Structure formats: structure tokens, C-alpha cells
């Protein structure tokens, strides 16, 4: 059994969804969005990466889904956590410096 966390990054917002998978059954566990604040950031710059990591760490539901293998009142217990991150096309407006 595993949990998949999919994250879509946009300059203004970040969206995430959690799916729990066991055999051929997929259970939708949670979803949300948060303010990205990436409008004036440089693409692949260490400060941009730090901002994204801080945003994720400060969102309690998203952070707990990434860090807790054991079950709790919101999420089922899992053996593995998979993370998929997608930068959406609108991120090409970020500077490439």
C-alpha cells in the first residue's frame, strides 16, 4: 500500500492532491492549495527551492502526508510515499538566470 502526493506549482498558487493506492483501488484522501509567491523568483535558484520547501513545511496537511507513514485520523497507514511534482507551463515566465 502506498500514498501518492501530486504537487502542481504555479507562480501564484501551488495545488496538491493525495491518493492512497492498494491493489487496483485508489482512495482520494485530501487536497488543497497554498500561495506560492513565486512570481518574481528565479527559476532553479536556491532561494526559490527554499521558498517551495518552506511553503510545503508550513502547510500542516501536506507536510503530514509527506512525513507520516503510520496512519492517523486523516490518512491511512502506508509502506511507501511517492511524490510527483509538476511545474506548469506558466512557470516559464520565471527568469532563467
Q: Is 92 exposed, middle or buried (0-12, 13-18, 19+ CB in 10 A)?
A: exposed
- pLDDT, tens digit, 9 for 90 and up, residues 44-89: 789 888 988 898 888 888 888 888 888 777 788 888 888 888 776 5
- pLDDT, tens digit, 9 for 90 and up, residues 27-38: 898 999 999 888
User: Residue ranges of the domains in the chain?
Assistant: 2-85
CATH class of 2-85: alpha beta
First to last CA, the chain: 41
Amino acid at each position: 500500500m502506498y500514498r501518492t502526493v501530486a504537487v502542481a506549482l504555479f507562480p501564484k498558487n501551488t495545488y496538491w492532491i493525495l491518493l492512497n493506492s492498494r491493489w487496483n483501488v485508489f482512495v482520494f484522501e485530501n487536497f488543497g492549495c497554498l500561495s506560492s509567491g513565486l512570481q518574481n523568483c528565479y527559476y532553479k535558484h536556491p532561494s526559490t527551492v527554499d521558498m517551495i520547501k518552506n511553503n510545503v513545511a508550513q502547510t500542516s496537511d501536506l507536510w503530514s502526508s509527506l512525513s507520516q507513514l503510520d496512519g492517523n485520523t486523516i490518512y491511512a497507514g502506508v509502506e511507501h510515499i511517492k511524490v510527483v511534482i509538476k511545474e506548469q507551463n506558466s512557470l516559464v515566465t520565471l527568469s532563467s538566470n
